[in-house]
Structure 1
Amino acid sequence: MTPRDASDANDNRWSDLGRPPLNATALRRALVRDGADGGLWSDLQVVTATGSTNSDLVELAVSGKADEGAVLVAEEQNSGRGRLDRRWTAPARSGLFFSVLLRPAGIPVERWGWLPLLTGVAAATALSRVAGVDTALKWPNDLLVTVDGEERKAGGILAERAERAGTDGVVVGIGINVTLRADELPVPGAGSLALAGATTTDRDTVLRAVLRSLEQWYGKWRAADGDPAASGLQETYAAGCATLGRVVRAELPGGRSITGEAVAVDGDGRLVLATEEGVQQPVGAGDIVHLRPA
C-alpha cells in the first residue's frame, strides 16, 4: 500500500477529538537537527495511513532514499507486523506506529542483535518517565504495563535488516497502544497507556520522549563499540525485564519447546533458562510464555 501523507490527505482529521493528529511540523522542529553537531534524527515524516512503516522504510533504505536517523510515523497502520509475522492493527490515531533507520557502521555485526533490546529499554524508560506508567520488558521485545492488576502487552518492537551495498542498516519498528479503550483491545492480553492510568496520553509528547531516549541509548551503545556490558545496556535490560526470575516456556522454531527458570540475559542478548535437568540453555529466538510470577 502506498502511504498517504498526513499533510495532504486527512479527510477525517477531527473525526475523533479525543485522538488529534500528530503535529509533524512541531515534531521535526523538536527532534531533527542539521549540521555536524546535529543529533541522530535526520528526518521525520508522518503519513496518514500505510500498510507497514517497517516495510516502507526498508524499501526507502534499500533504494538509497533514506539516511540514518530517518523516522517514519503512521497515524494508522493496517498491515503492521510483529514477531513471528503476527499482525498489528489498531484504530487510527489510537497509538504510535513508527519505524527508525539505524546504520551502526563500525559496530561488529554480531552485536546488532542488541538493537531491538536497546529500543525496548529506551521505550520503557521513556514511558515510565513521561507517562508515569511502570513499563516492563518481556523478552525479547514486548512492552508490558499493568491494567487492573494484570500484566498486559501495550507495545512491541520488530527489527529488520535493510541491506544495500556498503550501507547496511537496521529498521526498527515500534508500536505502542496509547489511547486504546477496553472495547477496542484486539486480544484479552492487550493493554494501553490509557488503561494503565497514564498521566499523559498526548502522542506528540510520548513520541518525543521515546525518540530522545532511543537517541541517548543508541549513542551510549555506539560509544562503547556496541558492547552491551560497557554501555550499561545489558544491566539495564535485565533490571527491567519481567521475564527474569520466572518459570517460562520457550516455544522454539520447529515445534520444540523448553521449560525452565529464566535466570539471565547473556552477552549476545539471549535468554538463559535453567531447566529441571540442571542445564543452562540459552534461547536466541522463540516465543516466551510466562508460566509463573517471579
Structure 2
Amino acid sequence: MTRPVPLDADVLRKRLVNDGPYSALNVVTVTGSTNTDLVAAATAGEPDRTVLIAEEQQAGRGRMQRTWVSPRSYGLHVSVLLRPVVVAQSALSWIPLLAGVALAETVRETTNIEATLKWPNDLLLGPGRRKSAGILAEGVTTLDGMAVVLGVGVNVHHSTDDLPSGAGGLPATSLAAEGASAVDRQEFAIRLLHAFAEVEDQWRSDAGAVAETGVLDRYRALCVTLDQDVRVELGGAESLRGVAKDVDEQGRLVVRGLDGVRTAISAGDVVHLRPDDR
C-alpha cells in the first residue's frame, strides 16, 4: 500500500484557487467535520466556492445521521461552500447528485476501477459494487440567502483491515483495496474538484436545468440502481418494494411498486435486492 503523503495546501491553492475555479481553500490536520466547519463559515459570510479539506475527521457525518472516523491522510475529506443564487431552491437537491457524477467520472478517468453510483450518491467500486465514498449536502440559511455545504468523503489508501462496516448494508472498500494503490491523493483531489466545478457550473449557468444540458443523462448512465429490484426504507416501519425505473428531473428515484404504481422518492435508504431477498 502507498505510504500516505500529507496534502500541500500551497499547491492545492495554486491549482484550484489561483489557477482554478474556487475562491478560497484551506487544509487542516484534524477536525470533527468539514461540513460542520463550513456551515459555521457560511453563516459568517465566507464566499461562494470556499473549500475546506481535512487530513483527519473525528466526527464525519453522512446521510441518515451516520457518523465515522477516518485515519489521518488515508482518505479525502473535502467540503465546498456553494451560493448558487441563480438557481431555484427547489433545484438545490441536485447538488449531491452532481458531486456523484463528478466523483464517479473522476475515478473512471484516473484508475482502471469500475465506478458506479447507488441512488442518490453512494460511490460503488468494482464488480462487487462495494461502497468507497459518501456525499452529504446541507442547506444553510444566511443573511445573504440560502447556501449549501457539500461534503465528500472518499476511502483512498485504506487497507481492507482499516475499513469500517459499510453503511446501509453495503460492504466498504477503498481505491487501494480495489487495486489503485498508487493513487496520488492530492492529484485526485485536484481532478475531483475541477470535475465538480465543471458540472456544477454547467448546472448553475442553466439555472438548475439538468435534462437540456445532458447532466441528467450523465447521472443515469452511472446509476446502477436503475432497473434493480429495490426496497426503499422511508423511515420507521414504512418501506416501498419494486423496481427502480428512472431518476427524474428533480433527482427523485421513480420506483414501480409491486402494484404497478410509480412513486417518485426524494429521500430514503435504498437496498438493492438479491434474488433470495425478493
Give the shorter-chain TM-score range. over 0.9
2:114 aligns to what? 134
Secondary structure, in 3 states, of the residue corresponding to 2:183?
coil
Query: In the alignment, is residue 24 of structure 1 matched against residue 5 of structure 2?
Result: no
Task: Name the stretch that deviates more: 103-112 or 129-138.
Answer: 129-138
Q: Distance in 2 between matches of 1:250 and 1:49?
A: 35
CA shift, 1:90, in A, is 1.5
C-alpha contact 1:130 1:200 (8 A) present in aligned 2: no
1:163 aligns to what? 141
C-alpha contact 2:14 2:20 (8 A) present in aligned 1: no
Counterpart code for 1:40: P
C-alpha contact 1:131 1:199 (8 A) present in aligned 2: no
Counterpart code for 1:175: G
- Structure 1: state its 5+ residue gaps: 1-15
Q: Distance in 2 between matches of 1:233 and 1:292?
A: 29
1:44-55 to 2 correspondence within 5 Å?
A: 44-55=25-36
More helix by share: 2
- Structure 2: state its 5+ residue gaps: none
Match of 2:233 among 240, 246, 251: 251
C-alpha contact 2:226 2:245 (8 A) present in aligned 1: yes
CA shift, 1:155, in A, is 0.1
TM-score (norm 2): 0.94
C-alpha contact 2:106 2:195 (8 A) present in aligned 1: yes
C-alpha contact 2:157 2:181 (8 A) present in aligned 1: no
CA shift, 1:199, in A, is 6.6
Q: Distance in 2 between matches of 1:72 and 1:235?
A: 30
1:95-106 to 2 correspondence within 5 Å?
A: 95-106=75-86
CA shift, 1:73, in A, is 0.3
Query: In the alignment, is residue 213 of structure 1 matched against residue 195 of structure 2?
Result: yes
> Deviating runs (4+, > 4 A) in structure 1?
none
CA shift, 1:167, in A, is 3.2
Match of 1:118 among 62, 81, 98: 98
Secondary structure, in 3 states, of the residue corresponding to 2:145?
coil
TM-score (norm 1): 0.89
Counterpart code for 2:110: V
C-alpha contact 2:228 2:272 (8 A) present in aligned 1: yes
Query: In the alignment, is residue 232 of structure 1 matched against residue 210 of structure 2?
Result: no
C-alpha contact 1:131 1:206 (8 A) present in aligned 2: no
Counterpart code for 1:163: T
2:56 aligns to what? 76
Query: In the alignment, is residue 267 of structure 1 matched against residue 249 of structure 2?
Result: yes
Secondary structure, in 3 states, of the residue corresponding to 2:193?
helix
1:6 aligns to what? none
Calculate the aligned-residue CA RMSD, in Å. Answer: 1.6
1:10 aligns to what? none
CA shift, 1:200, in A, is 3.6
